[in-house]
Amino acid sequence: MDRLSSSARVMIVSDLDHTMVDHHDSENLSLLRFNALWEAYYRHDSLLVFSTGRSPTLYKELRKEKPMLTPDITIMSVGTEITYDTSMVPDEGWVEVLNQKWDRNIVMEETSKFSELKLQAETEQRPHKVSFYVQKDKAQEVMKTLSDKLVKRGLDVKIIYSGGMDLDILPQGAGKGQALAYLHKKFKTEGKLPPNTLVCGDSGNDAELFTIPEVHGVMVSNAQEELLHWHAENAKNNPKVIHATERCASGIIQAIGHFNLGPSISPRDVMDSSDSVPENFEPGHDIVRFFLFLERWRRAEMAYSELYLAGLKALSFPSSAFVHPSGIEQSILDCTNALRRSYGDEQGKQYRVWVDQVTTTEIGSNIWLLKFNKWEISGDERRGCIATVLLSSKDLSPSEGFTWVHMHQTWVDGAGAKDHTDWVC
């Protein structure tokens, strides 16, 4: 499914810092739990939207630091920029909306008169966003006075204070909530509005997301005082908005289950993969399940058993070929032997595996073509490959999954392994 050309089943719109991404989780386990859930059960027919206060520069830096998925839509700079797909194509219609009653030069002129405002880094200054730091005890007074001055200059702006220090000045039509409302209106006009949208946040600049009609909302357990105060004043009796008991991405998973939006048990939470097979088995689930096995095998989180290797061999055609990113073609026997040698070689290390952008296409009777990015972190080294896999579901029950016919991998530019020999599958 091309998720931007047809109606999605579910749309998740999430803030990043301290919502999707937990900066206090050194192993990123909550984020990896969400990744596995999304790629196994949602990627093929749902939309993932990241809505962040970060500029494009800082957003790209975060992607290098954390094992994040690639969203279908990115809303950045506190709702002043909307882009699509991996190439981050900007929405020109949104730019036209924001240009109304906005003059960045006047904003800069008036803010220069406030000694309390400290300009943030140049990377955080955007065409429709001017950002400052201001002390918490000075914020309210500055916001009121500044707002009056800008109105007198003929501007229609919005001033947002969040995180106990960040002050953003935007066009009145901008913001995370307005950006989402714009997308909803656009999708509705095109006849492809998702039946369910879940918004997720932790701070004051996320509050607008919860005001959009008909959305479900989750404030993660670690939500800041400013968002909790807004909720108490504006939405405490709204059953569609909950305060999760779990942090960050784990709170998002909790909300998916609470609102019955679809599967809410991450494959990472199931040690026996045979117990995690959904009623309507998807090829993407098989991919997630295999690479979770690889991670647990190499971390020695499961007991060594030849039965596991025999099972993998049984679910591959005898003539199956696996092309290593270095270009070397391996047989199923070669791969089984490599797995046997790799048992426990990452034990005690911060070794994690995840897949991203799993796309599935049925190209023939019971034959599936899958494309995805596979990533590994081992200590400080991060490496990735682009993978293409052929799967067959012929003569198999849902609990058995799929038969692996072929896999071809090539290194992601700039993300190849220093030592090709320790890239097992």
Containing structural domain, residue 255? 10-90+175-268
Residue 96 forms part of a structural domain: no
Residue of 257, 184, 245 whose CA lies nearest to 219: 245
Residues in Cβ contact with 110 at an 8 Å cutoff, skipping those fewer than 6 apart: 146, 149, 150, 153
pLDDT at 8 over 70: yes
CA–CA separation, 296 and 331 (whole Å): 22
Residues 289 and 374 both lie in one domain: yes
Average pLDDT, integer, range 100-104: 94
Residue 2 forms part of a structural domain: no
Residues 360 and 342 both lie in one domain: yes
Residues 56 and 193 both lie in one domain: yes
Residues 313 and 195 both lie in one domain: no
Confidence of residue 1 (pLDDT cuts 50, 70, 90): very low
Residue 424 forms part of a structural domain: no
Give me the CATH number covering residue 47.
Answer: 3.40.50.1000
pLDDT at 398 over 60: no
**Per-residue pLDDT tens over the stretch 195-236:** 999 999 999 889 999 999 999 999 999 999 999 999 999 998
Residues 262 and 338 both lie in one domain: no
**Per-residue pLDDT tens over the stretch 161-197:** 888 899 999 999 999 999 999 999 999 999 999 999 9
Query: Of 145, 171, 197, which residue constitutes the final position of a domain?
Result: 171
Kindly state the percentage of the chain with pLDDT values over 90.
80
pLDDT at 377: 94
Query: Of 268, 286, 310, which residue constitutes the final position of a domain?
Result: 268
Beta carbons within 10 angstroms of residue 170's beta carbon: 25
Helix pair angle (306-314, 332-342), 10° resolution: 160
**Per-residue pLDDT tens over the stretch 42-76:** 999 999 999 998 999 999 999 999 999 999 999 99
Confidence of residue 280 (pLDDT cuts 50, 70, 90): low
Residues 130 and 236 both lie in one domain: no
pLDDT at 396: 60
Is the Cα torsion angle 139, 144, 146, 150 positive or negative in sign? positive
Residues 345 and 388 both lie in one domain: yes
Residues 160 and 182 both lie in one domain: no
Provide the phi-psi class of 350: left if phi over 0, else alpha when psi is between -120 and 50, else beta: beta
Residues 319 and 388 both lie in one domain: yes
**Per-residue pLDDT tens over the stretch 319-372:** 889 999 989 999 988 999 999 999 999 999 999 999 999 999 999 988 999 999
Could you give the angle at the alpha carbon of 133 between the alpha carbons of 127 and 134, nearest 5°? 130
Beta carbons within 10 angstroms of residue 167's beta carbon: 25
In single-letter form, the type of residue at position 119 comes to L
Residues 45 and 192 both lie in one domain: yes
Residues in Cβ contact with 267 at an 8 Å cutoff, skipping those fewer than 6 apart: 36, 37, 40, 273, 276, 285, 288, 289, 292
Residue with tokens 């494309």: 371
Total domains present in the chain? 3
Strand 351-364 and strand 329-331: the pairing is unpaired
